[in-house]
A = this chain, B = another copy of it.
Amino acid sequence: MTFWKEVEDMNNFAFHVPTDIRFGRDQIQCLPEELGKLGKKILLVYGGGSIRKTGLYDRIRSLLQDFEVYELPGIEPNPKLSSVEKGREICREKKIDAILAVGGGSVIDASKHIAAAACYEGAPWDLVLDRSLVKDALPVAVVLTICATGSEMNSGAVITNENTSEKLEINTPLLYPRLSICDPTYLYTLPAKQTAAGCVDILSHAMEQYFQPNDGAYITDALSEAVMKTVVRYAKKAMEEPEDYEARSNLMWASTIGLNHLLTVGKGGAWSVHPMEHVVSAFYDITHGVGLAILTPAWMEYVLSEGTAHRFARFAREVFGVTEPDDMRAACLSVEKVRDFNRSLGMPEHLLEAGVPDDRLEEMASEAVRTSGLSTRAYVKLGKEDVLKIFASCR
């Protein structure tokens, strides 16, 4: 376990995020005009059908009456390769011009992968294993109904291969959505549990980018703190008062800003908790935010040391208002604060509570290290034994 501190200055970076965001009440009225710029034959991708109950489905179909619309419903949480393959078939057969993803991260990620697969001759999973094979993609537009993953304004997509139990990311600039409609009132009908899981995910995205060795990118860290404070301020409120526009709008924008590169520029490195969680949810199909809530404090405790205390202390002070002047004590408080936050959202604290038994922890630990930068580029580099200890401490 080594604390990586070679880099001190703000790293060089490129920042080029071409997604057109339309944020606020009833922004969906722009759909016919804006989607029309992308084409006439549309593949409408969505999830389990909640958009039919809320009326959003009808609204969209009525707005798209002059389009030729095909549908791919039933995208599952932790979207599966088989869904991507189904979508690709429709795109080819119907000569689809553009994909309209209506949903949260799972629907958007599946749509992005379909968009790339539609323009590729070989097997869709190839593109996940080697992103350089993505040479073109259909344009994707988004109507966001769950805020969490930030996929509405970034170029990544996480897909689960159910044959190999791999959950991996494909990421290339061709996958930026062209248009994302973000209407906070669409979040009003989200169940409290999903709201909570989304908030844990947003906080985790910011933390993954924040806990990196580079202290020279002060401004990026300060912007992260702004996003993290926002999540801590509004998460419980959104659960308790689901139609509170202030809470929903602030969380929705936090999720978008939280993973559109703004919080990572100048820093870099590899993520720590997400790769561990991706293996857990690939093996047991649990809710991503629940897995993060369990693993995050365990990871914090494990990597907290003399070398990392200053950053955990800054996190405690800036995000949770801790006033403790001693760095190590403030850092320890930060772990407690994150546990308290998760508890306040009703999150489980142990893997078993989430339906994850302890008989494959070793296999999962190997897989987490194998499929990520955990052992090479993470804030604190972790090998298989380290990850196993973290898993074990969450049993």
Contact = CB atoms under 8 A, between A and B. Distances in A.
Interface of A: 9-25, 27, 184, 216-220, 222-223, 225-227, 229-230, 233-234, 245-246, 249-250, 253-254, 257, 262, 265-266
What is the copy number of this chain in the assembly?
Answer: 2
A219 B9 contact: no
A245 B219 CA distance: 13
A230 B226 contact: no
A13 B24 contact: yes
A381 to B, nearest CB: 25
Q: List the 6 closest A-B pairs by CB distance, nearest first.
A: A12-B24, A222-B226, A16-B20, A15-B21, A219-B230, A10-B249
A264 to B, nearest CB: 12
A23 B246 contact: no
Nearest to A10: B249
Given A218-B250, A219-B227, A219-B254, 10 more contacts: A10-B250, A13-B21, A14-B22, A216-B249, A217-B250, A218-B233, A222-B226, A249-B266, A253-B266, A262-B262
A373 to B, nearest CB: 21
A218 B16 CA distance: 25
A310 B54 CA distance: 39
Contacts of A253: 10, 219-220, 265-266
Nearest to A221: B226
A117 to B, nearest CB: 26
A108 B300 CA distance: 45
Nearest to A27: B12
A23 B265 contact: yes
A266 B266 CA distance: 26
Contacts of A24: 10-13
A198 to B, nearest CB: 15
Given A226-B223, A249-B266, A250-B10, A18 B21 contact: no
A179 B218 CA distance: 24
A228 to B, nearest CB: 9
Residue of A12, A19, A27, A254 ringed by the most chain B CB atoms within 10 A: A12
Given A218-B246, A225-B226, A15 B23 contact: yes
B230 A222 contact: yes
B21 A14 contact: yes
Contact of A249 (B9, B14, B184, B249): B9
A218 B257 CA distance: 13
Contacts of A184: 10
B249 A230 contact: no
A165 to B, nearest CB: 37
A60 to B, nearest CB: 19
Nearest to A253: B219
B18 A18 contact: yes
A253 to B, nearest CB: 5
17 contacts: A9-B245, A9-B249, A10-B250, A12-B23, A12-B24, A12-B25, A14-B21, A16-B20, A216-B245, A216-B250, A217-B249, A219-B254, A222-B230, A223-B227, A226-B226, A253-B265, A253-B266
Contacts of A12: 23-25, 27
A249 B25 CA distance: 37
Nearest to A8: B246
A392 to B, nearest CB: 37
Contacts of A11: 24
Contacts of A220: 253
Given A16-B21, A20-B16, A9 B218 contact: no
A370 to B, nearest CB: 32
A267 to B, nearest CB: 12
